């Protein structure tokens, strides 16, 4: 969530003054404007379940195909656009307080998943019931308890399904700890040595864990997280490019420009200039569900939907040849 930008982009999934900590609504209600002219910042935890039609969702500059049974996990701070959606979806939104007291690991759910079989039936049933109860019952202590338990059951079911597909490995815990530290520290330092000191391990240990989980070095993981945040700010705000660089720890605009161009393949100015053009014709196909992805196993492939802030490793924004949603360089 971006709160210090003097001219922030529209944000989505925010609570109205009378909204509960858990809510359900239609995909169209997420749009910053009717045409989704630009990506918009997500401020709440979201699950998006496609119920009818086919189309593409652009999440953190990657296109994800959606059809009935597709489930998207969107986290606060990510940017989303569904320009001209040809599909309908039910959105479940919640605030972190909704799960207080429940042992639910929010980092386990995959960003994209095509449900099938018993998993699809169970998730559709639970999302549908949650939506019915959100509409049917007036706000009150009993309703809130009911909705909190329903949401916890839904997320636990998804966590179990993900765990079945992605067995844990010894390197995962080191990588998860490193990733959490990067989430806090990337605006201030890009030195692997600083994170190693904070975590009480060696640079070699961090690099070995990152290579095992993502196929990239620890330094690449940090730089990709910085580049991702830069892309988010460039695409969703009108903040000066130099100021974005300063916020991310670059004292000189030229240094930021060189860094971003190296990581993404285009300059910050070119990336921003293309933000009003949604990505077209270049769909990023997720891996088959049976293959481990993200932080729980399997080599990360550039251009596949990774798990960025608040869950999984960072994905680098792609050079916006047809808008800031095309795949990044290999």
One-character DSSP codes across 87-109: EEEEEEEE-GGGGTTS---TT-S
Which range (133-147, 165-179, 186-200) has the least confidence? 165-179
Q: How many domains does the chain have?
A: 2
Helical H segments across the chain, by residue range: 117-136, 141-165, 170-185, 192-199, 203-214, 218-236, 241-247, 253-264, 268-273
Residue at a domain's end among 110, 131, 164:
164
Which range (3-17, 176-190, 288-302, 315-329) has the least confidence? 288-302
The CATH number given to whatever domain includes residue 28 is 2.60.120.280
Give mean pLDDT, residues 118-134: 93
User: Is 290 among the domain residues?
Assistant: no
Give mean pLDDT, residues 86-99: 91
Question: What are the structure tokens assigned to 312, written together?
Answer: 């999984």
Predicted local confidence at residue 271, as pLDDT: 94
The reply to whether 110 and 236 lie within a common domain is no
Predicted local confidence at residue 252, as pLDDT: 95
Predicted local confidence at residue 20, as pLDDT: 59
Residues of 56-77 as b/e, b for ≥16 C-beta within 10 angstroms?
A: bbbbbbbbbbbebbbbbbbbbb
Residue 298: band (very low, low, confident or very high) from pLDDT cuts 50, 70, 90: very low
Predicted local confidence at residue 105, as pLDDT: 75
CA–CA dist 77, 48 (Å, integer)? 16
Which residue do the tokens 């729980």 mark?
A: 296
The reply to whether 181 and 129 lie within a common domain is no
Residue 315: band (very low, low, confident or very high) from pLDDT cuts 50, 70, 90: low
User: Is 288 among the domain residues?
Assistant: no
The reply to whether 189 and 122 lie within a common domain is no
Give mean pLDDT, residues 277-300: 38
Which residue do the tokens 């830069």 mark?
A: 230
Predicted local confidence at residue 10, as pLDDT: 42
CA–CA dist 2, 174 (Å, integer)? 28
User: Is 5 among the domain residues?
Assistant: no
Residue at a domain's end among 100, 131, 164:
164
- pTM score of the predicted model: 0.77
97 touches 21 (CB < 8 A): yes
Highest mean pLDDT: which range of 7-16, 267-276, 320-329 = 267-276
User: Is 67 among the domain residues?
Assistant: yes
The CATH number given to whatever domain includes residue 270 is 1.10.10.60
The reply to whether 69 and 83 lie within a common domain is yes
The reply to whether 87 and 214 lie within a common domain is no
Cβ neighbours of residue 83 closer than 8 Å, sequence gap 6 or more: 35, 36, 37, 58, 278
Residue-range definition of the domain harbouring residue 183: 170-274
Higher pLDDT, 329 or 182: 182
Cβ neighbours of residue 124 closer than 8 Å, sequence gap 6 or more: 49, 69, 115
Predicted local confidence at residue 268, as pLDDT: 96
Residue 86: band (very low, low, confident or very high) from pLDDT cuts 50, 70, 90: confident
């Amino acid at each position: 969530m971006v709160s210090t930008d003097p001219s922030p982009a529209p944000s989505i999934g925010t609570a109205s003054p009378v909204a509960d900590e858990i809510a359900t609504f239609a995909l169209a209600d997420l749009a910053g404007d009717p045409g989704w002219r630009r990506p918009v910042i997500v401020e709440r935890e979201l699950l998006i379940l496609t119920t009818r039609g086919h189309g593409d969702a652009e999440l953190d500059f990657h296109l994800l195909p959606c059809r009935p049974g597709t489930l998207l996990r969107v986290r606060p701070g990510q940017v989303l656009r569904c320009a001209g959606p040809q599909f309908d979806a039910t959105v479940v939104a919640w605030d972190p307080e909704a799960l207080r007291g429940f042992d639910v690991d929010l980092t386990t759910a995959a960003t994209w998943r095509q449900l099938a079989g018993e998993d699809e039936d169970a998730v559709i049933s639970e999302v549908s019931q949650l939506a019915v109860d959100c509409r049917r019952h007036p706000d009150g202590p009993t309703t809130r308890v009911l909705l909190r338990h329903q949401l916890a059951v839904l997320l636990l079911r998804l966590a179990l399904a993900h765990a079945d597909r992605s067995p844990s490995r010894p390197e995962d815990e080191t990588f998860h700890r490193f990733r959490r530290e990067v989430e806090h520290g990337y605006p201030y330092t890009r030195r692997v040595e600083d994170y190693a000191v904070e975590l009480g391990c060696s640079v070699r240990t961090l690099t070995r864990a990152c290579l095992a989980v993502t196929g990239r070095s620890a330094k690449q993981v940090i730089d990709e997280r910085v580049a991702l945040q830069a892309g988010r700010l460039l695409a969703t705000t009108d903040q000066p490019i130099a100021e974005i660089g300063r916020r991310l720890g670059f004292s000189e605009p030229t240094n930021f420009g060189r860094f971003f161009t190296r990581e993404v393949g285009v300059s910050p100015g070119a990336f921003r200039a293309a933000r009003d053009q949604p990505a077209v014709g270049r769909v990023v196909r997720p891996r088959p569900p049976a293959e481990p992805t993200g932080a729980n196993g399997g080599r990360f492939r550039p251009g596949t939907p990774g798990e960025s802030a608040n869950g999984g490793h960072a994905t680098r924004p792609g050079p916006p040849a047809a808008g800031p949603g095309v795949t990044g360089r290999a």
